[in-house]
A = this chain, B = another copy of it.
Amino acid sequence: MSITIRDIAKKLDLSIAAVSRALDGYSDISGETRQRVIKAAAEMGYSPNRSARQLRRKKADAIGYILPTEEPRFADPFVAEFISGLGNETALHPFDLLISIAPPGLDTEQTLYRNWVQSQKVDGFILNRMRVKDWRVQYLYETNIPFTALELSLDSIDYPRVEVDNENAMASLVKYLTKQGFQRFAFIGGDENLIKHKARFGGFLKGLEYCGIEWESGLSANGDMTIAGGYRIAQKLLYLKAPPDAILCINDETALGVLRAAHERGVEVGKQLAVTGFEGVIAGRYSEPSLTTMDIPIYEIARILVKMLACEIMHDVLDERVVVVKPEMILRQSTGRMG
């Protein structure tokens, strides 16, 4: 079968203990022996059996990410970039990345988390799509499992995390559009239980207030953060007797759907109607018209989350327990009048 330390020990006429220590870089082993062992190991193509090591060390050397997705087929560019970041960063550490998928309901998701914890499959978790009240936070905190997350849930638990300054960013968009002369603001959000929604919608309201504009509740609706959802809701908004002249969206996907609906309605986006996204997904750069958005470095955020988690797991000191990311406003054609 596979090569074990036993094979190396036999070949070198050493004890397995000596081999093990030589490979793990302990100091109580002669330099010469170490060299011989390392050489032999390399020649024989040895690499330690993961399960045995894990069993003994009581560590999985793996981190887990459970994608919280509603529909089986709801895979957006955000996810792709996020996973890509997780994958690249974990590869730099001595960790594996374990991935699964569970709808954010209580059943499957809870079972999955509990199972991974109890069977010690992973040493820690990466979380995103935080909910206002998030049982994952409660659970992992109580069971003392390390985790890092994108966004802070409102469970009054302080965990290592990356935060995006959603609120001010969204407010900035409102202010900018006001200066451009737009007046009737609509907002298309997502699930109200999401922190992301709360923060961005909050920023929208804050922006309106700052600009002295009164909020018309009829001009806001929540979708599912997909292109299709944005399209559907925009269709309604654009057929109102007094339609909005600016539609701010919780994310780029939604905004891309809005663009489509506007085209069909024959509304000139950038002139008669301003549309903004959020998150800076690549497609927005090439849409017609191109999409004004608040860019968020999703890939980088994912990497930071892994780095932080690795520190937590190793019990290293974390220089920054909270990393705040400021979105960057990217002005493109969909808000027009940009000279």
Contacts and interface: CB of A to CB of B under 8 A. Distances in A.
Contacts of A99: 83, 87, 97-99
Given A84-B79, A99-B83, A231-B286, A120 B73 contact: no
A299 B119 CA distance: 29
A206 interface: no
A14 interface: no
> Which of A50, A74, A88 counts the most chain B CB atoms within 10 A?
A50
A245 to B, nearest CB: 20
A101 B91 contact: yes
Interface residues on A, range: 35 or more
14 contacts: A49-B55, A50-B54, A55-B55, A67-B87, A77-B77, A79-B84, A91-B102, A96-B98, A96-B100, A99-B99, A227-B283, A231-B286, A256-B286, A260-B287
Cβ-closest 10 pairs across A and B: A80-B80, A75-B80, A51-B54, A87-B101, A75-B84, A288-B288, A51-B55, A260-B286, A47-B118, A51-B51
A156 interface: no
Given A75-B299, A80-B80, 20 more contacts: A1-B58, A2-B118, A46-B118, A47-B114, A47-B115, A50-B51, A50-B60, A51-B52, A72-B299, A75-B77, A75-B81, A79-B80, A91-B112, A96-B98, A97-B98, A98-B98, A259-B286, A260-B287, A260-B288, A287-B287
A178 interface: no
Contacts of A48: 119
Interface of A: 1-3, 45-52, 54-55, 58, 60, 67, 69, 72-77, 79-81, 83-84, 87-88, 90-91, 96-102, 112, 114-115, 118-121, 226-228, 231, 256-257, 259-260, 263, 282-283, 285-288, 290, 299
Residue among A96, A115, A231 having the largest count of chain B Cβ atoms under 10 Å: A96
Contacts of A51: 50-52, 54-55, 60, 120
A255 to B, nearest CB: 11
Copies of this chain present? 2
Contacts of A228: 282, 286
A225 to B, nearest CB: 13
Contact of A55 (B52, B67, B114): B52
Contacts of A114: 45, 47
Contact of A50 (B83, B102, B120): B120
A73 B226 CA distance: 22
A114 B44 CA distance: 12
A43 to B, nearest CB: 13
Given A45-B118, A119-B49, A121-B96, A88 B75 contact: no
